[in-house]
Every structure is written in structure tokens, then in C-alpha cells.
A and B are shown apart, each in its own frame.
Chain A
Amino acid sequence: MKRTLMHCWIVGLLLIALAACGGAATQETTVEEPAAAATTAEEPAAGEAYRVALILPGRADDVSWNQAAFEGMNWAAEQLGNVEVTVVEQVYDVADIEPALIDYAQQGYDLVVGHGFQFQEPIIKVAADFPDTSFALGTGFKTAPNVGVYDVKLEEGAYVMGIIAGMLTESNIIGVVGGLDVSEIHRGHVAFQMGAESVNPDVTVLNSFVGDFNDLSGAKEAALNQINAGADVLWQSGDGIGIAVLNACAEQGVICMGNNANQNEIEPDITVASNVYAWGPMFVQMIQEDQAGAYGDKQYWINFANEGEQTIVNPPLAGRITAAIQARIDEARQAFIAGTLDLGDLDAITIEAQQ
């Protein structure tokens, strides 16, 4: 009996090591679309509303990854009219994803959106059983006839964040904190270092991954550790843990930068700029193509060229972005838009090998 209990402990611990997270809470927030109602009033024969289920791995007000999608989808619905958006939050555990997808597909939603890399396998699996429902996967590489992938060219924004950090640093040490070394986060971290090195060949870039997108306390310690190592400008690749990095920088009086949403307001005294995602126009395009029957097996991007990604400077600290820094930012931005700046296959570069 005692031995069995001990085995239970060990198995439990291993499970924690694999997926350091607790149970998930699922809540639903139905966003009634005012624009849709207005459109229906004007055109009574507009027909049935197009229904979107947006499934978020975190909170819709995380000032980051999830909030950007939440606001983008509401914006898209407003622009298009006659689109009804249902938002589900906190579908974080992989075990909860498949039932959520099946649930919304069965309810007859036109488009079911899984906003995160962890949705990839469940979406491919469930989409095969619901050929009449369109699915959208937020970052990933697998598509299907009724599955489209949308993603962010984080490498573009991250490269610019690297330029700012590389030029602002006085210690020649900068750092970046992320959740896990996967998908767009990986590309962002690699490009951040490339951007910094393009303006400052002597710069050392520190990389930390927290392993859990909800472990804010751990993220703060990672940021404090980088600051103790001499880093004087930090960036983070987002989600809730990003707020903890801003928090650590504010505590230590170190310059920081935001990602995903405009995070300049959270710690306005130390945040010089944010790399902001605007998913709205891309969601509009996806919905329109789905309505026209041209959806699926396709990759959609937000980037500098379509203004889905923007570098937004914090007005009170705009003085820190000197004309020289602004010139390098504009140069890189134009090069990305023109397609003349190619960073290569970033997935092929490991963080360890880069340093």
C-alpha cells in the first residue's frame, strides 16, 4: 500500500513535469455584434448570420496573444456585418481542445478558430469528421481542404524589436523571455537576436523560456535573472508571462518592450514600444474567402506589408527612439515589405546554436 502510494506520487510528478498546469476552467462569453444587428435592420433579407467560434487558450483580456485575436475578430465582424462571434476562453489543456472543437462544429458554426499552435493536431483530426465546417488554426503548418492556417511573421516585428534593443543598450547585454521555444515564438527569438546583431555586433542576447504560459512568477524570476546578468533592455514574446517581464523591468528600472497587444500602457515609465498584432483585416479576408467557397488548404499571414504587424512607440518615451534608431527601423520595415530582407529558414536555427 505504502509503495503504491509512492508510485502515485512519482507518476503525478512526472505528469506535472510534462505539463506543468492545473485544471482548466471554461467560460463562454458571447459577444453580440451590434454592427450585425444594424445590418440586419437595414437589409431584412440578409439571411442567416455567419457564425464564428473563437476558441482561446487564455483570457480574452490578457493584454496579449488572446486579446489581440479577440479584438481582431470583433473588428472583423463589425466590418463585415451579419457575423456572429462566440468566444470561448481558457481552453488551455490539450485534453479540452478536441471536445470544444467537436462541440462547436456540431452546433453548426461556419468557422471554428483554434487560436494557438496546440490546436494543430486536434483541428486536423476533428476537421476530417466535419467536412462542411471550416476550421482555422492559429500558427502551425498542417492544412486540410477545410482547414486554413493563419500566422504572424513575428520574425519581422521581432527583428525591429532587436534593432531597438541593440541600439538602446549601454551594457551590450539584452534579453528576451518567452513561454516555449516553438512556432512563431522560436522564429521571433531568433530574429530578435539577428536584428540586434545587425545594429550592434558586440551585443550579447539572453534567451529564457518559462515552460508555462501562466507561470507569471517564474517569468518574473527569469527576467530578474537576466537583469542580474547585466541585461538593460528586455523584450518578451508575449502571453500573460509577458506582463510579468514588464513588471520585473519596472521594479528594476530597466527598459522593456511589449508584444502582441499594445502593452505600452501597462508599465508606461519603462516600456518604449510594442510589437502589435492587428488580426482584423486578415480575419475579414478569411471569412470572405470562406463565404465565397475559396477557403482551406491555405496559409494566411499578418506582417508589416499588410499592416497586421505594427511597431507602436510609447508616446511619453518617444524621445528614446532617436532619429538614428528610427532610420534603422524604417529601413528594416521597408526591406521586409519589399521582400529584400530574407532571414532564411529560422526554424532550422536552434536557440542554443545561435549563441
Chain B
Amino acid sequence: MSGDTAVGQVFNLPVHQGQVANLPHAKPTRTRREFVREACCGFSGLALASLLHDEQLRAASSNPLAAKRPHLPAKAKSIIFLFMAGGPSHVETFDPKPLLNKLNGQRRPEEFGEAKYQFVHEDARLLGTKRTFRKYGESGIEVSDLFPHTATCIDDIAVLRSCHGDSVVHSAAQYELFSGRVVPGFPSMGSWLLYGLGAESQSLPSYVVMPDPKGALEAGQPMYAHGILPAVYQPTMFRPGDRPVLNLDLPKHVTAQQRRRTLQFLRSLNESTLDPADEEFSARINAYDVAFRMQTEAPEVFDLSREPQETLDLYGIGSEPTNDYGRRCLFARKLVENGVRFTCVVSGGGPGNMQWDAHGDIEENHLRKAAETDRPVAGLLKDLKRRGLLDSTLVLWGGEFGRSPDAQSPTGGRDHHNLGFSMWMAGGGIRGGQAVGATDAIGLKAVEKPCHFRDIHTTILHQLGLDQHQLTYPHLGRDERLTFLEGRVIEEIV
């Protein structure tokens, strides 16, 4: 089955299974077949045989990744999260604050209230920005000179200027951004989506993370992981280069021809020694078929050599400093095209200054990080749009927090800041060309229509047709969900 067929199937087929929330979460290994045998021990062999045949037919739908119908009508079917790790400054990007410049070098006036910081001390001074803002598009939303390319897409973008979270340290804030909890161990957005909707692609992993090859992030891999959900909902971490998926390549000592033969042999032994009517075993045999298909079909998706030069240019591929992020953004488009549910493209990794974590010098850091990402991000939005994919793909941009209006260092750095910052969404039914919510006059606190991470999660789920209260998984006596506490759909943008 090609990727395209799979997509078509998912969207044309009616119900595969019931409401997600009512699905049995942990399928006991004891199969219905055993039950049937026990219950019908007095029946004739014929009746049993026909029941077993029926079971055999059902085996296909026992796949936990089978596409599932959403709870509500869906507007989007995929998410691309452009994760600006380390925390980009809101006052340098999407949230102009003229008063901050006026108060540059002064103590923060008391009326703005208090803030807890990781590094900034009480005697800190406010830090104005050197960036200039300009109105873009028909909507006239102001964007700073860091993002001249992204700004040209502003009419497709809904800027959220009043985001806030609960932690001011990286690891906990990153966990909350991904999983709704400030502690590790809970499923990330991508795992929840996969659990709620199943997979579309038969030849690609459905939840992909493309880390920045420059290094790690504070919260580490548990941030992206499936946590309490079964391993089937885990992310696939892409490696740098043309062969991003671990184990997709054959070991060096084997040829593809040989391995095909080995698989045939394996299948024949499995079928001759074990009852193929057994649901569990059929699922496993099926997993090998899909694995083989991934092995042959996925590499085509990762091959960028057949992309036209114009497309490569659009993403800034082949020139610096955009080549790396551009390549990964183009991968993201190709993954979406092939039915991948959730793709996270990380900008930033390794020591803080290699992320958006501009403690030392906001100018140097943000000019560099913006230059790496601005063109690729705009390229991705434009490419999705012209291919008609933007309608069904929700693009989310942002970090685990913003940056402090207060200066951290004499060289003009800013500390972490979780009380008010900007993120944006585009596509996937989001109404662009508007800025929602506001921070106070110096960008310290979200004061108008505050938007917590859980509200962002709720909105994402909503666009994908999932209800935060129905998408649950039992764990230690609680029906856990992505939003932890109740989130709200950001009505202004949907």
C-alpha cells in the first residue's frame, strides 16, 4: 500500500473502532479465541471453525496503530511543532514593548509585580530591545526584524502573546510544554495524538522527532517519550543525515536479497508452528510486513536529491546558516505528505547559547538563531500552503518559555521567563492574521486572555478532533490526560 492510499483510506472509511476512551487499554494476552474455545467446548467443530474464521478476519484491526475516528469533526490531521528550545524572547520577536525601551536600565516599577527567576537577582535593571518592529500583511501584525521571512506569512499566523507556564527552569518547563506536567514520565503530545488517532502511514513511523544535531536539551529524551502509554506510541528519533531512522538499514554483512529470503523463511516457520488465527501472533507477523515496507519505502521519503532546486532554495537548503534547519523542515513537509501525525523539528541543542537560551547576549544569540530558522520556517509554511497541505497541518512555533524583561548580564542577556511570552500557530483550521492576548506594558506577565500550555494542548487536540476529557489513559488510579487540569480551547483562533 502506498502512502497516498493509506491517507485516502483513513479519511474515507467510517468507524474502525468505537470511541477511543472506551477502547480496552491493555489488551490481555488471553485471546478471544481461547475464550471461544472454553465457552464452546461442546459445540461442533464446524461452529468453532466458523467463529475462528471470524476471529481471523478481525485480527487486522487489533493493531493498536489502526486509524481511529476522532471524537469530534477534525480540521487538522497532522501537527508540525517548530520547537525553539531554550526559550526565544517574546519582546524581541512578536511582542513589541515600547515602554520597555523607555525604562531601559531602570529598576522594574513595582506596579508590575514580582517574578521568580532562575538567575536574575532582585536588583536587576530592565533591558530594552535593539530590535525594530514593523507591521506586516493585511492584518498589520507587528513582527520584529529578526523574522523578515516569517513575517511575510503573518496573515496565516495566529500569534499568541499571552502564553504562560508553571516552571522557570528548562527541564520542568520542557516537560510541561510537551506533556502538560512539570515532572517526567507522562506522555508527550505526539504520543497522545498517536494513541487517540492511530497512524495514517503504513511505511513511516507516525511520531517523529528531529533533534538539533548540535546536541541535547535539558529535559532529555523523556520529554518526547510515551511515558505511561504502551511502547507502540513512542517517538522515532531521527538522526542527522540521509538515513535518519535507526534500524532501518540492514546490517553490513547482509544483502537485501538475503534478508528478504530470511523474512520469507521466518514467516513460513511462524505459520507452520503457531496458529495464525491467534490475534497476538498475527499482529506480530503483520508488524514484520510493515517493518519490511518501511525499510523499502521510507528511504524514498528521506531522499531530497529529487526535490527541485526552487524548493531547496525556498527552505534555504544548500546555503548557510539555513541548510540544517531547512533540510529538517523539508523532511517535515515530506513526512506530513506521507501521513505522519506529529513531527517535531527542534532548533537548539547543546550548551545554552547553542539554544535560544540567551543568558549572556540576547543580540548575538537571537540574531544567530533567527538567521538559522527564519527562512526555513517561512519556506515550510509557503510550501505547505501551495501544496494544499496547510489546511490539514497545524504548525506550532515556540519554546518552553520566553525571556525576562529584566537584564541578566551587563552584556545584555535575558533570563528564562514563564509568566508571559509568545507562541504562534498556523494552518490546521487556525484563523491566522491575528494576535491574541497580551502581556503588560513591559512584557512581564500575561494579563489579557492568558493562555496556559494546557490551553494550547486543548486547542491542538480540538483541531484534530480530540476531546481532552475523552483522551485518557488510566494510571495509578487517575485517568491521565494531556491537559492534566482542564484546558480551554482558544476560541479566538479556531
A and B part of one assembly:
no
Instruction: Give B residues with C-beta under 8 Å from A.
Output: none
Instruction: Give A residues with C-beta under 8 Å from B.
Output: none
